[in-house]
Amino acid sequence: MLEPSNNNELPVIPAKRYFTIGEVSELCGVKPHVLRYWEQEFTELSPVKRRGNRRYYQRHDVLMIRKIRSLLYEQGYTIGGARAHLTTDDTKENSTRTKELIDQMIAELEDILELLK
């Protein structure tokens, strides 16, 4: 198993659509029971469940797990702190996108106003 501080030494994520819990465990350096626990703690993690309740993770899930792993193991966050940090990141990202859209709409409205004059 990889040391917690070696997040940058994790294997490259292959170009696949779905990954089993065992594959994700190896890709992220986290045991399967930890992944199942994190699913309960972080709403951002939601693998697809199929036959027999088998979990299939997508690429964005693997990236999120690596981010959570970094927050917990490298940066020293608690579960609650990591959850709050992820929520704050989402809020900042959404507000940045909203500001960009508003600026774009203002520019377009100013162009329309110039055409009308």
Domain range 7-116, CATH architecture: Orthogonal Bundle (1.10)
What's the CA gap between 86 and 81, in Å, rounded?
Answer: 9
Tell me what pLDDT residue 94 has: 67
pLDDT in tens, 45-100: 989 998 888 999 999 999 999 999 999 999 999 999 999 988 886 666 667 777 88
pLDDT in tens, 11-58: 898 988 999 999 999 999 999 999 999 999 999 898 999 888 899 999
What's the CA gap between 117 and 113, in Å, rounded?
Answer: 6
Tell me what pLDDT residue 7 has: 52
Helix 32-41 crosses helix 21-28 at what angle (to 10 degrees)?
90
Band of residue 2 on the pLDDT scale cut at 50, 70, 90: very low
Tell me what pLDDT residue 4 has: 44
